[in-house]
């Protein structure tokens, strides 16, 4: 009765119920919408790993080489031997080809030796005036000595049998190793001379060792054609017989016709910085792998002006000067452009039926649209103005979810890395390093107001004395052009600069002769990018590294207010 007499109460209650219902509906709709958004993002989101990042993010990641502070576009991009690959992306074709030599393995080998190898008491009494270098126990002593000396820096893979040195108590031995800083199983070679003695237990022991490549009798030179005729007394230098960067050829017309190829015409990436080249090249190679096609590769590069003393772009550089072509052939299906064009031309001349070709005029035609194309050749053209004609545009947008750049396929040149190993080896893999950035940045006081003063010789000495012990081997990686700029450091450290090792790429070096052979008999300049690559790789092998930015100066790496 009271409710019937109070209609306003009923209407207020009904409005409240409707309002609550509407609010509930709105909240539920918002909840469903949020869940839908999260679901879509979860499905489409690609994690920021190195193979799926956007171009700017990826470039930033890979130009930060161990916190290196070289000029951004002149720094060395990390390549496959620097990266730890996720299991899903690790190449199955690159297992460890050699067992690692360890103390446990040496001990097992020692137990298996016959008693005939044991030194007799009379030999001990005579203090072993002549060492039998071929005795397996000599090698055991050398292996243990090397493990104690270098185990933190290099991994030993195999040894050759020791041979006699120049004196009765000397033995020369060669071994193959890899550097612990590299993630690849690429092998390097050293050979050294050891002085061998006998311990109280009548066992061989190493009482001294000479430096890098000192065991001349253990080296295995590769004879050069007509070398004996030119100079019969000359000693043939050691060639790296592990390098095989010959150009693969298509063996027959039938094989050529059965193949499927992806061919990129030259675009705006030509004569750009090396980091730009690598970012674009690996996009193209990634698309070829996605389409299950052989990539047609131009081995001729244009080195950007920034790497040349002349300040001009330099064409005609060979890809093999900078990168490991042999490893690339093993990891990716490629054919060299000139050989490919010759095979194509020969086919069209000798057959009435032409090769099916799909010409693609724009990067906007995605790899996904080409996936089912049956043409023998897919030919991408890049004729638009910059930046529409960059190769890496193919891998942008939705294509980034499908194209994975095969970084594991790209290693640095073995010839350049041999120079890195030689420099490190001459310092017995026991050195510290400072990276001194000057050049244009030191002159630009608006962006880097303190850099010039903070990288003066006096300032560097003052800073290093609190970080690096005196008289250590100190490698200075720098873009400072004046060799004597760092002379004040020589009163405190054993200073090493890249130019101290010019003979490693001089006209009598293995690098010089081998690159000249690749270049049709014409000498190859050791250019600015090669210098930066070697400098950087030696830098990251140091036990203690001091950087310009974050260590020597409080200036920001990219200028004022960018820290």
pLDDT at 57: 45
Same-domain pairing of 458 and 345: no
Same-domain pairing of 319 and 190: no
Same-domain pairing of 390 and 403: yes
Q: How far is 358 from 462, CA to CA, in rounded Å?
A: 64
Residue 526 falls inside a structural domain: yes
Same-domain pairing of 403 and 278: yes
Residue 285 falls inside a structural domain: yes
Q: How far is 232 from 217, CA to CA, in rounded Å?
A: 18
Same-domain pairing of 262 and 285: yes
Final residue before a domain boundary, out of 346, 381, 409? 409
Same-domain pairing of 403 and 520: no
The pTM of the full predicted model, rounded to 2 decimals, is 0.80
Residue 30 falls inside a structural domain: no
Query: What's the mean pLDDT when you consider all of the chain?
Result: 83
Residue 15 falls inside a structural domain: no
Question: How many angstroms separate the Cα of 493 from the Cα of each of 387, 471, 488?
Answer: 48, 4, 9
Same-domain pairing of 403 and 316: yes
Same-domain pairing of 332 and 454: no
Query: Which residues does 90 contact at the CB level (< 8 Å), separation at least 6?
Result: 408
Same-domain pairing of 359 and 327: yes
Final residue before a domain boundary, out of 163, 190, 222? 222
Number of domains the chain contains: 3
Same-domain pairing of 419 and 539: yes
pLDDT at 84: 58
pLDDT at 352: 85
Coil/strand/helix, residue 77: coil
How many Cβ atoms are within 10 Å of 61's Cβ, its own excluded? 14
pLDDT at 55: 42
Residue 338 falls inside a structural domain: yes
Range of the structural domain that residue 475 is part of: 414-546
Residue 348 falls inside a structural domain: yes
pLDDT at 9: 53
Same-domain pairing of 183 and 276: no
Q: What does the buried/exposed string (b/e) look like for 321-341 if buried means 16 or more CB atoms within 10 Å of the residue's CB?
A: bbbbbbbbbebbbbbbbebbe
pLDDT at 10: 55
Residue 93 falls inside a structural domain: no
Phi first, then psi, for residue 136 (nearest 5°) are -55, -25
How many Cβ atoms are within 10 Å of 53's Cβ, its own excluded? 18
Final residue before a domain boundary, out of 354, 382, 409? 409
Residue 36 falls inside a structural domain: no
Q: What parts of the chain have a pLDDT lower than 50?
A: 1-5, 42-74, 87-95, 115-117, 125, 223, 225-230, 232-238
The helix or strand, by DSSP H or E, that contains position 122, with its residue range, turns out to be helix 121-125
Q: Which tokens in the block code for residue 408?
A: 């594991």
């Amino acid at each position: 009765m009271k409710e019937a007499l109070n209609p306003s109460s009923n209407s207020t209650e009904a409005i409240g119920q409707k309002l609550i219902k509407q609010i509930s509906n709105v909240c539920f709709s918002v909840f469903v919408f949020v869940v839908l958004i999260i679901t879509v993002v979860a499905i489409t989101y690609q994690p920021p790993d190195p193979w799926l990042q956007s171009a700017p993010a990826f470039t930033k990641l890979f130009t930060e080489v161990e916190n290196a502070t070289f000029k951004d576009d002149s720094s060395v991009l990390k390549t496959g031997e620097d990266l730890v690959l996720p299991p899903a992306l690790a190449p199955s074709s690159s297992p460890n080809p050699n067992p690692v030599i360890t103390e446990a393995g040496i001990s097992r080998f020692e137990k298996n030796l016959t008693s005939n190898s044991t030194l007799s008491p009379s030999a001990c009494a005579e203090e072993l005036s002549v060492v039998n270098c071929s005795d397996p126990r000599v090698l055991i002593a050398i292996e243990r000595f090397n493990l104690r000396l270098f185990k933190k820096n290099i991994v030993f893979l195999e040894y050759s049998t020791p041979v006699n040195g120049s004196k009765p108590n000397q033995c020369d031995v060669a071994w193959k190793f890899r550097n612990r800083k590299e993630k690849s199983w690429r092998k390097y070679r050293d050979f050294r001379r050891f002085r061998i003695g006998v311990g109280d237990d009548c066992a061989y022991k190493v009482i001294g060792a000479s430096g890098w490549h000192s065991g001349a009798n253990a080296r295995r030179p590769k004879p050069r054609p007509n070398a004996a005729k030119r100079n019969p007394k000359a000693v043939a230098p050691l060639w790296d017989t592990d390098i095989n960067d010959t150009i693969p050829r298509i063996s027959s017309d039938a094989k050529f016709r059965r193949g499927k190829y992806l061919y990129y015409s030259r675009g705006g990436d030509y004569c750009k910085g090396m980091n730009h080249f690598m970012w674009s090249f690996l996009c193209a190679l990634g698309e070829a792998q996605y389409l299950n096609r052989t990539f047609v590769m131009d081995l001729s590069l244009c080195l950007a002006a920034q790497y040349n003393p002349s300040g001009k772009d330099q064409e005609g550089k060979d890809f093999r000067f900078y990168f490991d072509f042999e490893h690339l052939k093993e990891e990716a299906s490629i054919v060299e452009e000139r050989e490919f064009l010759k095979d194509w031309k020969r086919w069209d001349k000798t057959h009435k039926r032409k090769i099916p070709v799909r010409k693609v005029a724009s990067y906007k035609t995605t790899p996904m649209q080409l996936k089912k194309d049956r043409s023998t050749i897919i030919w991408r053209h890049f004729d638009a103005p910059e930046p529409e004609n960059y190769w890496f545009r193919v891998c942008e947008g939705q294509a980034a979810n499908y194209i994975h750049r095969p970084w594991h396929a790209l290693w640095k040149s073995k010839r350049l890395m041999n120079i890195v190993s030689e420099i490190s080896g001459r310092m017995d893999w026991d050195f510290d390093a400072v990276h001194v950035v000057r050049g244009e940045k030191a002159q630009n006081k608006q962006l880097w107001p303190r850099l010039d003063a903070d990288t003066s010789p006096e300032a560097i000495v003052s800073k290093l004395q609190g970080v690096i012990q005196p008289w250590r081997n100190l490698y200075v990686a720098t873009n400072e052009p004046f060799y004597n700029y760092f002379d004040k450091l020589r009163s405190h450290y054993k200073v090493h600069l890249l130019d101290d090792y010019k003979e490693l790429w001089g006209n009598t070096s293995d690098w010089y002769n081998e690159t000249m052979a690749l270049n049709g008999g014409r000498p190859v300049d050791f250019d600015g990018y090669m210098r930066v690559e070697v400098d950087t790789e030696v830098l990251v092998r140091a036990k203690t590294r001091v950087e310009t930015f974050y260590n020597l100066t409080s200036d920001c790496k990219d200028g004022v207010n960018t820290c």
